[in-house]
């Protein structure tokens, strides 16, 4: 590959946590690159969609003591909170047991603060622009073009774009509605003011029952909404809560290796039964720590089967909601104003200012209900990544990237390099959730941080001494 012998330039596309963490680790490595450009339209690096949320009701879903930009200093975020008095106006962030669940925007500010000195020194440059094209140059480098038409040369490009946004169910896409009037359709509940038109007594249907559903219910409740909310998903399972007390991981899922999705499910059930006296969270915490090895042992067809059949079980148990949000959901369930059930949309009509919705679960008879508002909180539309990011579509057309066989993101090798078939691109990397088809678990913050650290080692080796140093560092980087 071609790497400048003087000042190698790294272009990172996407400045959410994945891109920001990678830039931070690259810039701080001894001998690492000192010319790093991050393309991110948002005002600050590190926030992204997740940690740029301005609703104070949207909290991190793990204790602050388990969040850090640096795995070697796991207490960095909680120490920063104490040093800056970041929770002075949010006493509810601190739980009776002393655990801390701040608003997500607080973590975004922490990451931005950690990058501030590197931005000021010029080691990292933040360009508030959207990338529209990435092309190879004859000398083996890259040209990155932004929406203003400006082009920038880079030696290495890292795709740190997050997973695609959710896609509304097909039955909702062609509805003709008038903004600000009833009925209300919200397909992007994270957009500022998205819930403003929903009245306090409106009957609300939420499509999806995961973390985003919890966000919507908590936001509505904080606004004074007391109408009935019905949330649906294929299995009708909502995200679970944390254990009441700290638990130690238990169980074993890698010795011997699990080779099929069905065997993995049987082993999970076995470990849950074997450790029945402990909270179920202890077993799932062990699955999380062993997830990379579990995923690596599964053949591709079994990975697909796991994604199709077991991912809802995993998502609802692995990605738990903050205790504050869980308390709101439980209170509404007890009051009878929140009903979570299994079902799917099969038809929607607009009639006299409300929705007439047809729903069905399995082979059960169709049931109908009236709603004043519908909010969609389904998961990422993984199949739309090429259309959602045109520059990725162009790279695919040029034969430089392709979708992963599991359909979760882009095809990468064990070092995070973009692949097509059996060929990899030495200077094109994928960071963050789009690499999860290879590594399995790249949604939780500790895993994203660890992967950013790994990529920093690999890319620093490339820029420090070209391919020779790269091969010398290869064994270390893959551990």
- In the block, tokens 């908590």 appear at 218
Sheet strand arrangement including 354-360: 344-351, 354-360, 367-371
CATH class of the 10-165+382-477 domain in this structure: alpha beta
Q: How far apart are CA 410 and CA 417, in angstroms?
A: 10
Whole-prediction pTM value?
Answer: 0.89
Roughly what angle, to the nearest 10 degrees, separates helices 311-318 and 280-297? 130
User: What value does the mean pLDDT take over residues 275-290?
Assistant: 91
Percent of the chain with pLDDT strictly greater than 90: 64
Q: What are phi and psi of 266, to 5 degrees?
A: -65, -40
Count CB atoms within 10 A of the CB of residue 60: 22
Which token pair is 453?
């650290």
| Tokens at 384, concatenated | 């739309």
Give the pLDDT score at 310.
82
Cα 475 to the center of its chain, rounded Å: 28
What pLDDT digit, counting tens, does each position of 394-411 carry?
999 999 999 999 888 899
Say if residue 317's pLDDT is above 90: no
Confidence of residue 47 (pLDDT cuts 50, 70, 90): confident
CA distances for 217 relative to 183, 224, 339, angstroms: 18, 11, 11
Asked which of 16-20, 125-129, 438-442 is least confident by mean pLDDT, the reply is 438-442
What distance in Å separates the CA atoms of residue 119 and residue 106, rounded to the nearest whole number? Answer: 20
Domains 10-165+382-477 and 170-240+320-376 agree in fold: yes
Which residue, among 448, 322, 433, has the nearest Cα to 379 in the 3D structure? Answer: 433
d(CA 3, CA 464): 9
**How many CA atoms lie less than 13 Å away from 310 in the CB half-sphere?**
18
pLDDT(53) > 90: no
| 8 A C-beta contact, residue 142 and residue 155 | yes
- Residue ranges per structural domain of the chain: 10-165+382-477, 170-240+320-376, 261-318
pLDDT digits (tens, 9 = 90+) for 139-151: 889 999 999 999 9
Q: How far apart are CA 52 and CA 93, in angstroms?
A: 17
Q: Which of 103-107, 311-315, 390-394, 466-470 is predicted least confidently?
A: 466-470
Q: Is 436's pLDDT higher than 90?
A: no
How many Å apart are CA 203 and CA 224, to the nearest integer? 13
Distance CA 182, CA 185 (A): 9
Considering the domain 170-240+320-376 in this protein, what is its CATH number? 3.50.50.60
């Amino acid at each position: 590959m071609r790497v400048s012998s003087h000042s190698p330039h790294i272009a990172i596309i996407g400045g959410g946590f994945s891109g920001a963490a990678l830039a931070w680790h690259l810039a701080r490595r001894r001998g690492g690159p000192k010319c790093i450009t991050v393309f991110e339209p948002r005002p600050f690096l590190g926030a992204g969609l997740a940690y740029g949320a301005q609703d104070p009701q949207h909290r991190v879903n793990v204790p602050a003591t388990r969040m850090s930009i640096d795995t070697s200093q796991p207490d960095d975020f909680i120490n920063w909170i104490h040093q800056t008095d970041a929770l002075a106006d949010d006493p509810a962030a601190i739980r009776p047991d002393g655990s801390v669940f701040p608003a997500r925007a607080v973590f975004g500010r922490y990451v931005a603060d950690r990058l501030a000195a590197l931005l000021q020194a010029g080691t990292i440059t933040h360009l508030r622009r959207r990338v529209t094209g990435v092309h190879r140059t004859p000398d083996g480098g890259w040209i990155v073009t932004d929406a203003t038409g400006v082009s920038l040369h880079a030696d290495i490009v890292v795709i740190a774009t997050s997973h695609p946004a959710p896609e509304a169910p097909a039955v909702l896409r062609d509805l003709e509605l008038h903004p600000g009037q009833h009925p209300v359709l919200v397909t992007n509940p994270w957009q500022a003011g998205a819930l403003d038109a929903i009245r306090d007594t409106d009957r609300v249907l939420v499509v999806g029952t995961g973390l985003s559903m919890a966000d919507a219910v908590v936001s509505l409740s904080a606004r004074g909404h007391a109408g009935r909310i019905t949330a649906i998903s294929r299995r009708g399972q909502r995200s679970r809560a944390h254990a009441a007390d700290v638990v130690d991981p238990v169980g074993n899922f890698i010795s011997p290796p699990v080779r099929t999705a069905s065997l993995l499910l049987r082993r999970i059930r076995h470990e849950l039964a074997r450790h029945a006296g402990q909270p179920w969270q202890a077993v799932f915490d062990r699955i999380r720590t062993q997830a990379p090895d579990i995923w690596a042992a599964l053949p591709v067809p079994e990975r697909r089967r796991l994604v199709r059949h077991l991912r809802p079980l995993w998502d609802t148990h692995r990605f738990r909601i903050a205790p504050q949000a869980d308390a709101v959901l439980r209170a509404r369930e007890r009051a009878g104003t929140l009903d979570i059930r299994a079902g799917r949309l099969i038809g929607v009509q607009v009639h006299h200012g409300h929705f007439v919705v047809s729903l069905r679960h399995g082979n059960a008879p169709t049931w109908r209900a009236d709603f004043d508002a519908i909010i969609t909180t389904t998961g990422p539309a993984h199949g739309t990544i090429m259309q959602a990011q045109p520059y990725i579509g162009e790279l695919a057309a040029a034969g430089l990237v392709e979708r992963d066989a599991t359909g979760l993101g882009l095809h990468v090798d064990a070092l995070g390099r973009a692949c097509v078939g059996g060929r990899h691109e030495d200077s094109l990397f994928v960071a963050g959730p789009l690499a999860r088809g290879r590594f399995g678990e790249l949604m939780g913050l500790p895993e994203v941080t660890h992967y950013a650290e790994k990529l920093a080692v690999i890319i620093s080796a490339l820029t420090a001494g070209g391919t020779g140093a790269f091969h010398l560092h290869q064994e270390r980087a893959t551990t």
